[in-house]
């Protein structure tokens, strides 16, 4: 059974600071996605990574896929209050019939 572990579970920092959150698995992903969920809303897709070592940037957000495709990180530079939310990673694995497996999320609060 594939499991995705996200860390930390909770992070509260001041506006302007940098942060990194992580998503790890013992299995190799076919692809991995990051979503952000704001209170009272559903998750919104931020990015999909597919290739080992891949780096994608979305404004102040940098997503990295591990070389072995077992882990990923999300780095936020100069965090803003608008970055507050629950960050979820989800991956599909070849031996899970490509069904998405979800992490429990990192709850991020950016204080003004």
Binding site for other proteins (CB under 8 A): 4, 9, 30-31, 33, 40-45, 48, 88, 90, 92, 97-105
| Smallest distance from other proteins to CB 95, Å | 12
- Of 78 and 100, nearer to other proteins (C-beta) is 100
Residue 111 CB, nearest distance to other proteins (Å)? 21
Q: How far apart are CA 32 and CA 30, in angstroms?
A: 7
State the chain's maximal CA–CA distance in angstroms: 44
Closest CA to 110 of 77, 74, 88: 77
Q: Are 110 and 13 in contact (CB under 8 A)?
A: yes
- Least separation, in Å, of the C-beta of 9 and other proteins? 7
């Amino acid at each position: 059974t594939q499991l995705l572990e996200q860390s930390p579970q909770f992070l509260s920092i001041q506006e302007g600071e940098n942060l990194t959150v992580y998503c790890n698995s013992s299995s190799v992903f076919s692809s991995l996605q990051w979503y952000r969920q704001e209170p009272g809303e559903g998750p919104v897709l931020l990015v999909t990574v597919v290739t080992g070592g891949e780096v994608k940037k979305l404004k102040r957000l940098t997503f990295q896929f591990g070389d072995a495709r077992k882990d990923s990180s999300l780095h936020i530079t100069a965090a803003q209050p608008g970055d507050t939310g629950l960050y979820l990673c989800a991956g599909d694995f070849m031996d899970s019939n490509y069904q998405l497996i979800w992490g429990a999320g990192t709850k991020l609060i950016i204080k003004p």
